[in-house]
Amino acid sequence: MSLLKIDELEKSYTADKRILKDINFEIKAGEFVSIIGPSGAGKSTMLRCINRMVEFNDGKIIFNNHDVGSLNKKELRKLRTDIGMVFQHYNLVPRLTVIENVLHGRFGYKTTLQGLMGRYSEKEKEDAFRLLEKLGIHEHAYKRCDQLSGGQQQRVGICRALIQEPKLILCDEPIASLDPNSSKIIMDLLKSISKEMGITCLVNLHQVDVAQHYSDRIIGLNDGEIVFDGKGIELSVEQINKIYGTKAKDLITS
């Protein structure tokens, strides 16, 4: 059974430029899927259509048997609690502690007032610590987020997504701002999360080799169109060329 089904998705910000053109794909529960493509291909926009951070113009997105496009405000909030999101720039609140940032992931389950007062149950707090421990940053729990390194901040970002108890995690270029070492740690973590916890991952990536190494499946996007959809090993040089245009060579050798 598919967890996510996208049908003839269309998105354009201005009348003359289409960002996404006729996107169709399905993702099964538990899959680890990478979306690759050059910058400006529409990867970020596509990811944000799934939880309606960006409103799409046409087509249909079915997530967990819900028609995403037709949800009202309250239902959309409910939907977003099922979808975690991890960002390139981590998007943490810099002045707050690590543990507070992680607990922000629970807001979707709370009333406005509970959230504003910072009323978290002891179980939620313990869960937050368990996640921090799992990701190896529990020692920094009471530090301010802006005192952490990039890799550590990204792990906080992942914890915030996980504490939502999501069915799907959307990762928008999670390693684009990190050094190779931290990148490997983050990708390993995402992979193990997907495997152990059975959470579906949809990851935007720049690097073909990383995508090939980690994903069950790769979707290649170029200029708003899907030009490849298959297993990593099926990805040939011509197809990489098709995805990246002429820039392909630099990407593979580097």
Footprint of other proteins on this chain (CB under 8 A)?
51, 53, 76-81, 83-85, 87, 89-97, 99-100, 103-110, 112, 115-116, 118, 120, 122, 125-126, 129, 133, 138-139, 141-144, 157, 160, 164
CB of 72 to other proteins, least distance (A): 13
- The smaller minimum CB distance to other proteins, of residues 111 and 149, is found at 111
Q: Cβ distance 141 to 57 under 8 Å?
A: no
* Distance between CA atoms of residues 84 and 160, nearest Å: 8
Are 9 and 58 spatial neighbours (Cβ–Cβ below 8 Å)? Answer: yes
Q: Which amino acid is at 105?
A: G
Reference 39, options 212, 232, 223; nearest CA is: 223
**Nearest distance from C-beta of residue 197 to other proteins, angstroms:** 18
From 196, 214, 139, 202, select the one nearest 168 (Cα to Cα): 202
Sheet arrangement for strand 17-28 = 17-28, 2-14, 58-63, 66-67
Of 98 and 208, nearer to other proteins (C-beta) is: 98
Sequence-separated (6 or more) residues with CB below 8 Å from residue 44: 172, 173, 204
Are the beta carbons of 50 and 170 closer than 8 angstroms? yes
Closer to other proteins by CB, 89 or 247: give it: 89
Instruction: State in angstroms the smallest separation of the CB of 71 from other proteins.
Output: 11
How is residue 155 annotated by DSSP?
H
CB of 251 to other proteins, least distance (A): 26
Between 143 and 206, CB nearer to other proteins: 143
**CB closer to other proteins, 137 vs 226:** 137
Q: How far is the CB of 231 from other proteins (least distance, A)?
A: 29
Of the pair 138, 206, the CB lying nearest other proteins is at: 138
Residue number, 59 or 108, with CB nearest to other proteins:
108
Short-list 172, 162, 157, CA closest to 83: 162
What count of residues does the chain have?
Answer: 254
Name the minimum Å distance from CB 86 to other proteins: 9
62 in Cβ contact with 4 (< 8 Å): yes
CB of 190 to other proteins, least distance (A): 17
